[in-house]
Structure 1
């Protein structure tokens, strides 16, 4: 916020950031954990984000195509909301790697959670992210998250699960290592679970009760 206010030419009250910070509480959006499947497929790479510019799907597609060209074994679950017009990154993967795609499209919730339960790796190439709920859900199921070392991710995942932001070759190298060797252990994201966050939300609502007013 301070950086944004510095760009404003005038009428910024002195000490406003500190005053607002003293009155504010951060309550993350809770997630319901996804159970792991009886058997995991360590070579199943999951994309469960929107296929839009801010998620940089083209970087993900380039990485998977490069690894496929090297002969690295993997399978793809291409999930997430996509626009009506097929995104170029998705079209490239469909055209070049049809035999590796085991899921493609938005799934019913039970099928989606079942797929998260057996996937091996979940990848984010996001340029913009608030909390990364899709990655948290995947991590709750035991999927190994591979994320940029930026945005909200340093707070959520250890260094071994992060690659330098905007470094496509670092992403490829980490994926290669995980797919051909030993991936890191699962990440504990239980502090974002609904039952863990319920007391904080209850406290905020207790201190700031919602007053219903009839519309005019």
Structure 2
């Protein structure tokens, strides 16, 4: 018998003896000897089966011990998602604000800060609202305002000078007063005017690269052609 068979035999004998002792404690009598006549109980366990059972028991015990020793780790947040990405940046919040100059027949003329998408009515309200003598028809209250715009509320019956910017006469510095027009676009408008002639209508400004529907809508009430 080789060493492996000897080990299996010893395990088998040990398990058989343990089973016999358990039977005696339960039933109060010793089990019949192996091979006794008329015995219905046979306690022989094949060595290989015994070895397999022992291996299974050891594995189960090892798993249970490891689970008690090292409980499941708490899952960490996904490092690929930065917490800062979930919080709007201060720069993004600042870009969403509009600064508008409101003057004329309002309670508190001056600069007002508005949310993106605000309209002239919001600008007038932020400036304290119209005075009793204000000419409500002098402004389009439903028009969206642009950052840097100047809204003028006239007095009822007062002749108001045309404060609109003439696209055909204004120099680049004056053109920068148009909502949505910066130095680069102002220079481009002046260059197009020199190359292609004056604008026949405000809508003709759309021929200039960089001037889209949003800018045209924003300057509709503050620009003119002469």
TM-score (norm 2): 0.20
TM-score (norm 1): 0.20
Larger RCO: 1 or 2 (CA < 8 Å, sep 6+):
1
